[in-house]
Amino acid sequence: MDYVEARNLPGHVGIIMDGNGRWAQARGLPRASGHREGAAAVRRIVRIARRLGLRALTLYAFSEQNWARPEEEVDALMELLRDFLLNEREEILDNGIRLNAIGNLGRLPGVVRAVLDPLRRDSEQNGEMVLTLALSYGGREEIAYAARELAKSVAAGRIRLDDVTPDALRALMPSLSVGDPDLVIRTGGERRISNFLLYGLAYAELHFADVLWPDFGERDLFAAIASFQRRERRFGLVGAPAPLVGGAPAPLVGGAPAPLVGGAPAPPVGGASAPQVACAPATHESATREPASPIESALAAASGAITRIAI
Ligand code: FPP
């Protein structure tokens, strides 16, 4: 049985949503149908992430390189994006979600900007979760942008060459305004990063799922988070002390969650941040009624009732 620790969730999760095309192909459908199902999965996962209490979710919706796809597919994706922003506007605003966008937004068609920009502005003050859509985004392009900005500042004499530091670069990267990603998930079976959040990935935990994005659901997200929680994050330091022999529960995950804005994530100090309760009830096992969904368990956990969620 896998468990998700209710109090040790990743703060910032990034997702490379891959597999829409293959999902459609397997059903003899046009690729656009796969993207449409992919948009439905986006809706699902945003809701779950918000209810779980993730602080930031970054979705790779369209890469700078995706412009080279057939025009018909690009158009279908832009239409889906516009529809998503129109249809989800109320729910985003009502649920305290701040809608953010990163990438070369100037390349997006006017019909998308016409719904994207007002939603970004109107949700600016929301603080429950930041949903970032990476649109016309490339990690290398973002690094080059930050480097150019620093070079301009050096050339203009505003900063010295010695001021060109990792933190100075980071401060200029829109993708990291919500902090480094703690967990990056890629669906669709490939094991690569494809130019996503390159600079911020330095100490992210990676999770590769075989499931195609349109089929990605609650259980898949929980499995990814459970996998994250089984890892010991060391941030280049030495590991946590070995667990006590003779009954004490092993620390589940080292390290505190990354701060929301700026700065390197705090290195782990002395093992797991949340106390673990070895005999915490696993709701699925103990219940006689229909098993609670992981989300119900997570919400119960947030109230302090349980510390582990069976998935
Ligand atoms: C990669 O799958 C996916 C994309 C290039 C687009 C992702 C878009 C969505 C999930 C839907 C629209 C987004 C929003 C935010 C509403 P692929 O097409 O490369 O799949 P394949 O590897 O199977 O061909």
> Which residue is closest in CA terms to ligand 1's atom 10?
38
In a domain, 213, yes or no: yes
Tens of pLDDT along 213-224? 999 999 999 999
Q: Is 196 in the pocket of ligand 1 (CB under 6 A)?
A: no
Mutate to test the pocket of ligand 1, among 85, 100, 213, 215 (most ligand atoms within 8 A of CB): 213
pLDDT at 10: 97
Identify the domain containing residue 127 by its residue range.
9-229
> Which residue is closest in CA terms to ligand 1's atom 6?
61
In a domain, 122, yes or no: yes
In a domain, 205, yes or no: yes
Catalytic annotation, residues: 18, 66
Question: Ligand 1 centre and the CA of 175: distance in Å?
Answer: 19
Instruction: Inform me whether the pLDDT recorded for 154 exceeds 90.
Output: yes
pLDDT at 251: 35
In a domain, 277, yes or no: no
**259, exposed or middle or buried, with CB in 10 Å at 0-12, 13-18, 19+?**
middle
Q: What is the CATH number of the domain that holds 70?
A: 3.40.1180.10
Q: Which residues of 150-162 are buried (b: 16+ CB within 10 A; e: fewer)?
A: beebeeeeeeeee
> Which residue is closest in CA terms to ligand 1's atom 7?
61
In a domain, 97, yes or no: yes
In a domain, 113, yes or no: yes
In a domain, 118, yes or no: yes
In a domain, 45, yes or no: yes
Q: Is 84 in the pocket of ligand 1 (CB under 6 A)?
A: yes
pTM, rounded to two decimals:
0.82
Instruction: Inform me whether the pLDDT recorded for 9 exceeds 90.
Output: yes
Report the number of distinct structural domains present in the chain.
1
Tens of pLDDT along 21-52? 999 999 999 999 999 999 999 999 999 999 99
pLDDT at 7: 77
